[in-house]
Each structure stands twice: as structure tokens, then as C-alpha cells.
Structure 1
């Protein structure tokens, strides 16, 4: 219960901080009633997409956790896919939005941020989201579904889903204004990751919902406060690309320079 309250208080604090910054802006001399209506509508829309959705996912996950409904749903899902179903595809789909992000940079797609800033936001979002997910796993000690091979009670929340929705939200933030199809496509891989975790009998529905909410909310927070980490030594350079790599055996980096 203490963890739930902390998460909700954090969300309300961010909203209050956002309102304070908004109110501190200087008043436009050409201020009109129509502009007021437009700004109010935009603020409410952003408030819904950036705060309400992840908070709703987290809240629903906590409410459903250990319920008879999710246990029944898990059994029904296994009956559909087969009790011997097992795939490693979800180990890769969680990183698919990262591949999309840097591939779009290499191909010259117009993004919100410089490639270095993208990397910075991606790393910070991942640290926050996965750190939160790991902390909850250690505090809640929820058992995984019966047949999953694990000696640890670390089912809640899903780490794979947390990572998938973190990377998908970074992709969304970078391309929602210039390429909406690309921006939303990352969530297809994120949803597939969460679904496969359940199909593999590795997680329950509540684990996936909370993981998704944490991933989205953590990334929103990083982009909301990006002015606090406004440092980029490569902003004045050109022809340089720096891309993280995941080979299955480890994580590395790919660096290119065009002369």
C-alpha cells in the first residue's frame, strides 16, 4: 500500500509542478479568448495522454494482482496456446523500438531530439523504470505462474514489459509530431512483448499492466524535465552516429563518422 501511495503522490507532484511552470509564463500581449480555449484543450489532452493512461495501468494492475480473475485468465490463455508453449521472441521484441529509433536517425527521419539526447533520454528512462520495477519485485515477492521455471518470487511487475514500454515511449516522444505511424509502431512491439510474457506463463496480466505503466510514466517524466539535463557535446557536429547494440550475448555500441 505504501508503494501505491508513493507512485500516486509522485504523479500528482508532477502535475502540480507542470501547472506552476505553465502559470509562470509571461502573458501574451495579443491574448484572446480563442487562444485561451485552445491552450486549455491542449493541456487537458496532454494531461490525459501523459499522466492518466500510465496511472490507470498501474492502478488496474495493483487491483487485479493475485485476483481469481487474472488466475483464470492465465489458465485460459495457456489452454489456447498450449501448456508446452515457449518462445524467446519476447527477449528481442522489447528492444525493437530502439532499433526503430536509430534506424530512423540513420535514414534521416526528422525527430524531436538530437541522437545524443535520444540516447541520454533512453538511458535515463531505462534506469528509472527498471530500477522501479526491480524495487517492486523485491518488496512484493509475488510468485510467478505455476509452471514457469524460476526460483525467485519476482513476478510483479514484468521487467520485459517495463523495458518494452520504456523504449516504445521514447520512440513515441521523438516522432509523434513528425511521423505518427512510426511513433505508435513501437507500442505494437511493446504489447507483443507483454502478451508473449503471459503466453510463456512467465507473468500474469497485472504484472504486465504495471510494467507498462511504469515504462510509460518514467519516460514521460524524463521528457517533462529534459531541460534539467540539457547537455549535448555533439550538437554542433555533423556526420556522427552513435547507436547501442544488443547481440544476445551482451550490449555494446556502434559508432560511425561520415567525412
Structure 2
């Protein structure tokens, strides 16, 4: 028993001596850096959760308010009631093009391109699936739909905006630590998509806000549970090229090639 106690005291003394050899200022600096980093990560996670919840909550509250109808009328009057564009059909996919272009150019990302694709698909399925379900369950006419028994009462939420913020959120998560300017740029196109949906008289403000919230939140959920589908057969392969393509007839697609 005495031997065990003696050995324990020797280990304790050695540990104390090593600790004393470390300068106090260095210990303080290391602790300060660790604390600042930890606080920054916690703050970013909290913000990432609050933003989509705030967007969805605000959208739900506005959906039964006369304010958004008045806002929609004023918006259409300011740009012209005959305004119509198809640009929003394409802007929702620009973050995807940005992400794969950055991969090709060698910009460091959080994940391999295969994992990015996997996350993008899962996030899109979750966000658009939720958006589609809400469209069917919630009977809300579009701004330009004046029919009493409309068969297109699927305004809430905006599917285009959901897709736009889903793709923008994936771009953000992949490059937020290595290229912040690139990471945030996707949201500019997402906001543009939502604004154009309103300008086209296809959606109200609440539809856009909820669509944006769903897109961001769904992506956050997929990244949170990323470890559950950690499978990548291409991670150790070389000579593999992968890039997105868009065709007016078939929509968004992908180009894949392998050099042997």
C-alpha cells in the first residue's frame, strides 16, 4: 500500500513540475485562444439555429396579416404589373455551380466532392419534401390567382426559395472556414431568387421567408447528422472529374469522368 501511495506521489510531483515549467503567460494565452475559439463556434452555431427559426416564425405570422398583401400590391405597382422573368429558375442553382467550380479550381472545402453531392441531395430531399408537403396541406392562393376554387393554391411556402437557400447553405457550410466571401455569396443569389418570386407575383413575402428558413434548417440538420452516412468510395481515387451541367430540356445534371 505504501509503495502505491509513494508511486502516486511521484507521478503527482512529476506532473506538477512539468506544469510549473510551462510559462504562465503561455498558459494564459493558450487558454484565451481556446476560450475565444470555443465562444466563436458556440455563437456561430446559435446564430445558425436562430436565423432559420426566426425566418419561419416571421413568415408564419405574416401569412395571416394584411401587411404582406399590401406590400405585394405596392411592389407590383412600382415595377409594373406586367413584369415577368424566368431568371429565378436559374439563380436558385448558381450556388451549386459555385461550389463545384471552386472544387475544380482547388479551393479548400470542408468535404470531398462526393460528400458534398451526398449532402446536397439529402438536404434538397428534406427541404423540398417539407416544402411540397406544406404546399399540399396549406391552402393558400398565389398573389396573381383570383379564382374562387383555384386548383393552384400552393403558394405557401416558395419552392424556388427553398431550393435557393438549400444550395446556398451547402455552399456556406463547405467554404465558411476557408473562403468566407465565396461562402456568403450564395446567399446573395438566394435572396435574389426570393425577391424575383415576389416581383413575378408568384409568392408573398411570408412564402419566401418560410421557404428560406426551411432551406437553411434542413441543411443544418443534414450536416449535424453527417456522421450517420459517412461513406465515400471516391475519396482515395485520383483522376476523377465531376462537374454540374444544366440543360433547358432535362434541367440540372452532372458530368462525371474517370481517367484510367
Fold similarity call, TM over 0.5? yes
TM-score of the aligned structures, taking structure 1 as reference length? 0.83
Matches within 5 A, 1:242-257: 242-250=242-250, 251-257=252-258
RMSD over aligned CA atoms reads 2.1
Q: Is residue 163 from structure 1 mapped to residue 163 from structure 2 by the alignment?
A: yes
Retained in 2: the 8 A contact 1:148–1:202? no
Distance 1:246 1:124 in 2: 20
Distance 1:102 1:39 in 2: 29
**CA spacing shift, 1:202–1:148, aligned 2, 3 Å:** farther
Runs (4 or more) in structure 1 with deviation over 3 Å come to 29-40, 147-151
Matches within 5 A, 1:18-37: 34=32, 37=35
Distance 1:234 1:42 in 2: 33
Which protein is bigger by CA-based radius of gyration?
Answer: 2
1:147 CA displacement:
5.0
Structure 2: gaps (5+ residues): 1-18, 20-26
1:112 CA displacement:
0.8
Distance 1:140 1:109 in 2: 42
1:126 CA displacement:
0.1
Distance 1:182 1:239 in 2: 26
Distance 1:195 1:173 in 2: 23
Structure 1: gaps (5+ residues): 1-28
Q: How many residues align?
A: 231
Distance 1:143 1:242 in 2: 41
> Residue 239 of structure 1 corresponds to which residue in structure 2?
239
Secondary structure of 1:208's counterpart equals: helix
Distance 2:223 2:216 in 1: 11
